[in-house]
């Protein structure tokens, strides 16, 4: 009976409390701010200039996020406090999946090439811990985008599952 209570407590903490407490992982989508840091605004302008298409812009934005930030299994736990940093201003190399997705979403929407309706945030409950990635609609096709999983070899179109890469 105690084992059942422990399991229920774990499920409640991991799947309810964490979503209520951790920014960008909640039950509601956090809106993109009207004003963003100047450095990020310049990056968006540069990526927009370099991009030859919307899909190419997505690739460049993904590369920007994954070059600037990385994920990590153990660091997700040991650096839990970094989930509370503002993803748009963070200088930390490590960033949680929710922060990386928020940064990517900001890059996409502020570029003028994508709208909120083109971006679906997916929360995986059946991983060891909750994990978040995005599904981006580009030119009529849906692309899985999981910048947090870049450190294990994910590229656009792939996402993490459990502790290994899951190819699309």
Residue 58, SS3? Answer: helix
Q: Look at residue 157 in the predicted model and tell me its pLDDT.
A: 85
117-162: pLDDT as tens digits: 999 998 876 555 678 899 999 999 999 999 998 988 888 887 776 5
Q: What is the average pLDDT value for the chain, to the nearest integer?
A: 87
What pLDDT is attached to residue 106?
A: 97
How many angstroms separate the CA atoms of 117 and 82, rounded?
Answer: 28
Of 118, 109, 100, nearest to 23 by C-alpha is 100
pLDDT of residue 27: 75
Residue 98: closest CA among 124, 68, 126, 127: 124
Taking only the tens place, the pLDDT of each residue in 27-80 is 788 899 999 999 999 999 999 999 999 999 999 999 999 999 998 878 877 888
Instruction: Note the CATH number of domain 29-166.
Output: 3.10.620
Q: Does position 83 have pLDDT exceeding 70, yes or no?
A: yes
Q: Are 166 and 158 in contact (CB under 8 A)?
A: yes
């Amino acid at each position: 009976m105690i084992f059942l209570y422990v399991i229920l407590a774990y499920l409640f903490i991991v799947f309810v409390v964490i979503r209520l407490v951790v920014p960008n992982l909640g039950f509601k989508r956090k809106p993109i701010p009207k004003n963003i840091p100047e450095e990020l605004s310049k990056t968006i302008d540069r990526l927009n200039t370099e991009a030859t298409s919307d899909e190419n812009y997505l690739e460049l934005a993904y590369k920007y996020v994954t070059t600037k930030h990385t994920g990590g299994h153990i660091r997700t736990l040991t650096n839990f406090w970094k989930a509370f940093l503002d993803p748009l201003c963070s200088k930390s190399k490590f960033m949680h999946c929710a922060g990386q997705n928020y940064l990517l979403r900001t890059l996409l929407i502020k570029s003028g090439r994508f709208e909120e309706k083109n971006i679906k945030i997916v929360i995986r409950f059946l991983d060891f811990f909750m994990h978040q990635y995005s599904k981006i609609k580009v030119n009529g096709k849906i692309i899985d985008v999981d910048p947090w999983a870049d450190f294990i070899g994910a590229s656009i179109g792939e996402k993490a599952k459990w502790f290994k890469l899951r190819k699309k």
